[in-house]
Amino acid sequence: MYGLMQEHALALPLVFHRVERYFGHKRVVTGRVGGETTATWADVCARTRRLAAVLDRLGVPGGARVGTFGWNSQRHVELYLAVPCTGRVLHTVNHRLFHEQIRYIVDDAADDVLFVDRSLLPAVWPPVASLKSPRHVVVMDDGADVPLPDDPRILDYETLLAEVTPFDGEFAIADENAAAALCYTSGTTGDPKGVLYSHRSMVLHTLLLLMVDTFGIRERDVVMPIVPMFHVNAWGLPYAAMMCGADLVLPGPAMRPAELISQLERHRVTFTAAVPTVWRSLEPLLAGHDLSGLRTIICGGGPVDDALSRSYQQAIGIPLTNAWGMTETSPVVTVARPATVHDGLDPDARRAVIGSPGPAAPLIELRLIGEDGSEVPWDGTTPGELQAAGPTIAARYVGEERPGPAFTDDGWLRTGDVATIDGHGYVRIVDRTKDLVKSGGEWISSVELEGAIMADPRVAEAAVIGVEHPRWGERPVAYVVPKPGADLTPDDVREHLIAHVARWWIPEQVLFIPEIPKTATGKFAKRQLRLQHRHDGPPAE
Amino acid sequence: MYGLMQEHALALPLVFHRVERYFGHKRVVTGRVGGETTATWADVCARTRRLAAVLDRLGVPGGARVGTFGWNSQRHVELYLAVPCTGRVLHTVNHRLFHEQIRYIVDDAADDVLFVDRSLLPAVWPPVASLKSPRHVVVMDDGADVPLPDDPRILDYETLLAEVTPFDGEFAIADENAAAALCYTSGTTGDPKGVLYSHRSMVLHTLLLLMVDTFGIRERDVVMPIVPMFHVNAWGLPYAAMMCGADLVLPGPAMRPAELISQLERHRVTFTAAVPTVWRSLEPLLAGHDLSGLRTIICGGGPVDDALSRSYQQAIGIPLTNAWGMTETSPVVTVARPATVHDGLDPDARRAVIGSPGPAAPLIELRLIGEDGSEVPWDGTTPGELQAAGPTIAARYVGEERPGPAFTDDGWLRTGDVATIDGHGYVRIVDRTKDLVKSGGEWISSVELEGAIMADPRVAEAAVIGVEHPRWGERPVAYVVPKPGADLTPDDVREHLIAHVARWWIPEQVLFIPEIPKTATGKFAKRQLRLQHRHDGPPAE
Ligand SMILES: Nc1ncnc2c1ncn2[C@@H]1O[C@H](COP(=O)(O)OP(=O)(O)OP(=O)(O)O)[C@@H](O)[C@H]1O
Ligand SMILES: Nc1ncnc2c1ncn2[C@@H]1O[C@H](COP(=O)(O)OP(=O)(O)OP(=O)(O)O)[C@@H](O)[C@H]1O
Ligand SMILES: [Mg+2]
Ligand SMILES: [Mg+2]
């Protein structure tokens, strides 16, 4: 027996027509070096209707991938709307990847057209110039003083928009399971893998972000996604802002800490989100700025370092809020929040609650699987591999005929993260499966060890990797970046650790380097550290 | 090209397993006359697992309707979970309907089993006793001193629960379009019509209620639905509370104003919802109670009377928030809220914004259709028939082979309400199509006229109907209930109106009656007033 409700596809045209109809008066601000551009959502929607006509004019077939290399910008938002609402697939690519990775991804996705911010041409053109697949490369002129390649495929975004008659109908996607967007994983642990989102998964993910107990995005918000729009759709924030009519502030190429913090201040941003490295780089600037408009700072994609969060709490009154997710999970799965059971905790304990991933959003199911393959209890201490299921979670990677080893036989995603979950469903990430250090038969969490090292005020950054050891199997090695001017020795680091971790966790090798190598999304590139350690041997202490 | 995301049904087991896993420690309180019962969600879930086994034991087939006649109570919540999560269809019935309506509805739905609160047996047994279809009638003993009918079909809820081995697996619904619940409309304008919700529509509706810009239900809330659980699933509030882990306070049969207000106070309820008549009946009691826990009072299912809302604002600091919906729409479509464009309004104007229906929630589309069948503009003044589309909106009524006259050719629901929508999407209900008074070729809104009459502090209630008139076609007739002890004449009412409405709206006939007849859901029963007016002629002035 079936319900008698309307068949109505959960598809991105719902987002477009809502922002166009209800929120035309709200704003989209895009930063550029030395200035910014302000538009209304009405402007953005009108230009999206032009862009839809441009895609037709360029002959982009339905279902074809449209690749983008762009900063967080209004034009990128126009692509977020026009590409999926017309039945093509939005393929955002990280311009900070190595050339060979860019070439591999654009080729693998068989992008029919590329849209590239002019300032990114130097990074993007060399790897793609010789590819056959993109029939056109549309340059979005952001004022960068960069020569245009002499190639017949090069077109100009604004010229194309000016030439067409805007599409004036209703966008419609008949099947909510149609592909809407494609994004590759960060490539932290191996080659990037493609995740193909459906309209349904993207609309459901958008709804999740509007709930009080997740991000709580609302009409009154001024949302500034610092997390790049090529990184899992800026965690879905542009779509959430459109669905509820929030103002959107996009940094564009103005991504230096001083530029970011002045945007946060100037627009009285209420909600912002970025990976830990960004918040670490802004911390020294907090004192000089009025950030009293902020209600929530999401620090996601990696662990929150408590020392850093305390600095934020002291400087501007709010700590960092952690969220956990993956490219494979759309990405938001958990968002930290103090529940009624946490009432009465002191500020440090509250900050710790907000600084770990928190409970899963509605619709998403989690479980922890132990080494013997059975579920482990949610007791807050027993670790297991975190697995996820739900309509916003990938079923397999692009190019896989059938789900590969990242998926279980019953269809759940194996996240590759080791976690604990407490009795109230609060997740803590112990480590990546691949980053855990197994020493003398026992596990050491590289993440926890890094946090303990970074709790030392003389330390700017620290990354821990496991290296082979004849007696213990593996031992942790710490790479440490001292704060500028700090007077720090390896012994100081070890001494500091005595109060924070078990004795046998303390690394014999503490190595100072000027900077921790990062992946293109700003994570510690441990794969690179491991290669380097194997290749060079440890740098002199 | 399809997305590669997990197939994962949007179905009510997601709600059950979430509240069981995450929020077992939170509370469900049920009032009874002279007391109350408190349980945890863990208790409720454990009993739901028993109830699931009871349904099997009673041999209720998949897809069969399980009828309920119940107050808002914990047991009713158990039915809300066990019935749809096991693939049966929850059919809540209004015990306040006339016997012939009850008989018609139970028969029309072919309810396989009925669950009845003991205190409701006198209302329910007479019409159903002679029906063939219910094979069992399970009595939920709420302590009422009411004899049990001597009939072999009568069973006891608690005995059944005690006898079974609880279901200990995972509930699963394979197809999200399967029927989950059935509810009949209020029967205000004609015979009640059956609306059959799917799992998908109910889960999506639940998600909508958790958003900041709709009801914003959250873990920290203490939610008290006064709106009955037989009235469109108590507007979805029980499911919303479960999805986010809010405490739920249910009045049970303790529905007298003094009982309701003391529950609101005692449990520091944060969010409550009821129809206008309820809020009118509680208003005289506000002064003596501490309702400072309340953040939102939803007054839905009918217009907010501004005079009443002002009383609330003065007495407890928060006005009434209007919401619009229908049985056919799950029901919530619009929820009032002040947006950024309303910043700077004075308190009276703000109250007016909150007191009208507001903008539609995400996923739901609205349009206004004029008398010529084309869309009318969203200018805040041009009225049209309100039509709705979306995944939470009915496609047709139970028993209709194909969509009937309440649905347009392109599949939208004709709401039967006349409305205006302003440039920001804010809906105002002008009147029901059937209640508009056409006088001298121009429309008079009965709703507006009633509001103007009730703005007089000497008036308790007022209802306006149109009656035939030889010269003007129709003229409005006002039925007025003076406040106890008020010294009021028909001329006083007319004089008061001069300042509020156009001269030609002022009714020649103003008739005093001791009470406005109400429908079973507490709405003004204008159909009855019209019949009475035709039959009796006007009562003596
Ligand atoms: N709150 C968090 N705390 C700790 N780690 C996190 C958190 N959020 C995300 N992560 C890490 O980021 C991973 C998801 O990152 P992403 O999808 O961007 O690619 P990646 O896993 O870094 O790259 P690849 O899968 O290609 O190796 C998670 O699996 C987890 O290891
Ligand atoms: N906020 C509101 N303002 C004015 N009227 C409202 C509001 N909310 C609901 N209503 C009225 O209630 C109606 C929906 O009520 P419901 O589905 O309970 O049954 P009914 O329409 O009263 O009964 P029937 O359809 O059987 O005649 C709407 O169509 C509208 O007329
Ligand atoms: Mg990964
Ligand atoms: Mg109706």
Which residues of A are known catalytic residues?
A: 185, 328, 438, 443
The shortest C-alpha distance from B258 to chain A (Å) reads 29
* A215 inside 8 A of chain B by CB: no
From A258, A274, A290, give the residue that closes a domain.
Answer: A274
What pLDDT is stored for residue B190 in this prediction? 84
Q: How many domains does chain A have?
A: 2
Residues of B in contact with A334 (CB under 8 A): none
* A110 inside 8 A of chain B by CB: no
User: What is the whole-number distance in angstroms between the Cα of residue B14 and the centre of ligand 2?
Assistant: 30
> Chain A residue closest to B6 (CA)?
A395
* B395 inside 8 A of chain A by CB: yes
- Do A4 and B411 lie within an 8 Å CB cutoff? no
pLDDT digits (tens, 9 = 90+) for B305-329: 999 999 999 999 999 999 999 999 9
pLDDT digits (tens, 9 = 90+) for A392-424: 999 999 999 999 999 999 999 999 999 999 999
**A390 → closest Cβ in B6, B206, B219:** B6
Measured from the Cβ of residue A100, the count of other Cβ atoms closer than 10 Å reads: 9
What pLDDT is stored for residue A187 in this prediction? 87
Q: What beta strand segments (E) does B301-364 contain?
A: 321-325, 332-335
pLDDT digits (tens, 9 = 90+) for A278-311: 999 999 999 999 999 999 999 999 999 999 999 9
pLDDT band at A538 (very low <50, low <70, confident <90, very high): low
Which ligand ends up closest to the CA of B191?
A: 2
Q: What percent of chain B has pLDDT over 70?
A: 99
User: What is the whole-number distance in angstroms between the Cα of residue B326 and the centre of ligand 2?
Assistant: 5
What pLDDT is stored for residue B189 in this prediction? 86
Residue reference for tokens 């990797």: A465
From B216, B242, B274, give the residue that closes a domain.
Answer: B274
pLDDT digits (tens, 9 = 90+) for B243-279: 999 999 999 999 999 999 999 999 999 999 999 999 9
Residues of the domain holding A463: 437-536
Exposed (0-12), middle (13-18) or buried (19+): which is A231, by Cβ within 10 Å? buried
* B216 inside 8 A of chain A by CB: yes
Exposure on the CB side of residue B72, measured as CA atoms within 13 A: 28
Residues of A in contact with B378 (CB under 8 A): 21
Q: Which two tokens stand for residue B358?
A: 């507001």
> Chain B residue closest to A201 (CA)?
B5
- Do A200 and B394 lie within an 8 Å CB cutoff? no
Rounded Cα gap, residues B22 and A416, in angstroms = 23
**Residue of the CA atom closest to atom 9 of ligand 2:** B301
Judge whether B247 and B268 are in contact, CB under 8 Å. Answer: no
Per-window interface: B 324-343 vs A, CB < 8 A: 337, 339-341
Which ligand ends up closest to the CA of B448?
A: 2
Which of B6, B387, B413 is the mutation pick for testing A, counting most A CBs within 10 A?
B6
Tell me the average pLDDT of chain A: 95
The shortest C-alpha distance from B471 to chain A (Å) reads 43
What pLDDT is stored for residue B521 in this prediction? 80
Residues of B in contact with A22 (CB under 8 A): 359, 424-425
User: What is the whole-number distance in angstroms between the Cα of residue A301 and the centre of ligand 1?
Assistant: 5
Classify A63 as helix, strand or coil.
coil
**Residue of the CA atom closest to atom 25 of ligand 2:** B185
Q: Name the H helices within A267-423.
A: 276-282, 306-316, 347-354
Q: Which residues, including other chains, have CB under 8 Å from residue A82's CB and lie 6 or more apart?
A: A48, A49, A51, A52, A54, A55
Per-window interface: A 375-394 vs B, CB < 8 A: 378, 389-394
User: Is residue B47 assigned to a domain?
Assistant: yes
Nearest to B392 by CA among B197, B186, B244: B197
CATH of residue B89: 3.40.50.12780
Q: What percent of chain B has pLDDT over 90?
A: 93
Q: Average of pLDDT values for B139-163?
A: 96
> Chain A residue closest to B209 (CA)?
A211
Length of chain A: 541
- Do A3 and B213 lie within an 8 Å CB cutoff? no
**B3 → closest Cβ in A178, A337, A341:** A178
Residues of A in contact with B177 (CB under 8 A): 2-3, 5
Classify B194 as helix, strand or coil.
strand
Judge whether A18 and A41 are in contact, CB under 8 Å. Answer: no
Closest atom, ligand 1, to C-alpha of A328: 17
User: Is residue A173 assigned to a domain?
Assistant: yes
* A180 inside 8 A of chain B by CB: yes
pLDDT band at A541 (very low <50, low <70, confident <90, very high): very low
Q: Average of pLDDT values for A43-59?
A: 98
Nearest to A183 by CA among A80, A61, A74: A80
Pick from B93, B104, B182, B188 the residue to mutate for probing ligand 2's pocket: most ligand atoms within 8 Å of its CB.
B188
Query: Residue B68: pLDDT above 60?
Result: yes
- Do A340 and B220 lie within an 8 Å CB cutoff? yes
Query: Residue B519: pLDDT above 90?
Result: no
- Do B391 and A8 lie within an 8 Å CB cutoff? yes
Number of cross-chain residue pairs from A and B with Cβ atoms under 8 Å apart: 199
User: Is residue B445 assigned to a domain?
Assistant: yes
Pick from A326, A392, A523 the residue to mutate for probing ligand 1's pocket: most ligand atoms within 8 Å of its CB.
A326
User: What is the whole-number distance in angstroms between the Cα of residue A296 and the centre of ligand 1?
Assistant: 21
User: Is residue A207 assigned to a domain?
Assistant: yes
pLDDT band at B539 (very low <50, low <70, confident <90, very high): low
Judge whether B486 and B458 are in contact, CB under 8 Å. Answer: yes
CATH of residue A517: 3.30.300.30
The shortest C-alpha distance from B218 to chain A (Å) reads 6
Amino acid at B63: G
From B255, B274, B293, give the residue that closes a domain.
Answer: B274
User: What is the whole-number distance in angstroms between the Cα of residue B495 and the centre of ligand 3?
Assistant: 74
Query: Residue B540: pLDDT above 60?
Result: no
User: Is residue B192 assigned to a domain?
Assistant: yes
User: Is residue A327 assigned to a domain?
Assistant: no
* A425 inside 8 A of chain B by CB: yes
Q: Which residues line ligand 1 (CB under 6 A)?
A: A 185-190, 192, 300-303, 322-327, 357, 415-417, 429, 432, 521, 523
* A263 inside 8 A of chain B by CB: no
Pick B532 or A250 by higher pLDDT: A250
What pLDDT is stored for residue B541 in this prediction? 47
* B484 inside 8 A of chain A by CB: no
Query: To 10 degrees, the CA torsion angle through B435, B437, B438, B443?
Result: -90
Classify A400 as helix, strand or coil.
coil
Q: Which residues line ligand 2 (CB under 6 A)?
A: B 185-190, 192, 300-303, 322-327, 357, 415-417, 429, 432, 521, 523
Query: Residue A537: pLDDT above 80?
Result: no
Give me the residues paired with residue A388 across strands: A366, A413
Which ligand ends up closest to the CA of B185?
A: 2
User: Is residue B319 assigned to a domain?
Assistant: no
> Chain A residue closest to B174 (CA)?
A2
User: What is the whole-number distance in angstroms between the Cα of residue A332 and the centre of ligand 1?
Assistant: 11
User: What is the whole-number distance in angstroms between the Cα of residue A453 and the centre of ligand 1?
Assistant: 21
pLDDT band at A536 (very low <50, low <70, confident <90, very high): confident
Classify A251 as helix, strand or coil.
coil
Phi, psi of B25 (to 5 degrees): -85, -10
Query: Residue A100: pLDDT above 70?
Result: yes
Judge whether B212 and A217 are in contact, CB under 8 Å. Answer: yes
Which ligand ends up closest to the CA of B329?
A: 2
User: What is the whole-number distance in angstroms between the Cα of residue A386 and the centre of ligand 1?
Assistant: 12
pLDDT digits (tens, 9 = 90+) for B7-20: 999 999 999 999 99
**B179 → closest Cβ in A3, A89, A178:** A3
What pLDDT is stored for residue A500 in this prediction? 93
Give me the residues paired with residue B443 across strands: B438
Tell me the average pLDDT of chain B: 95
pLDDT digits (tens, 9 = 90+) for B235-246: 999 999 999 999
pLDDT digits (tens, 9 = 90+) for B402-447: 999 999 999 999 999 999 999 999 999 999 999 999 998 889 999 9
Rounded Cα gap, residues B72 and B419, in angstroms = 32
User: Is residue B101 assigned to a domain?
Assistant: yes
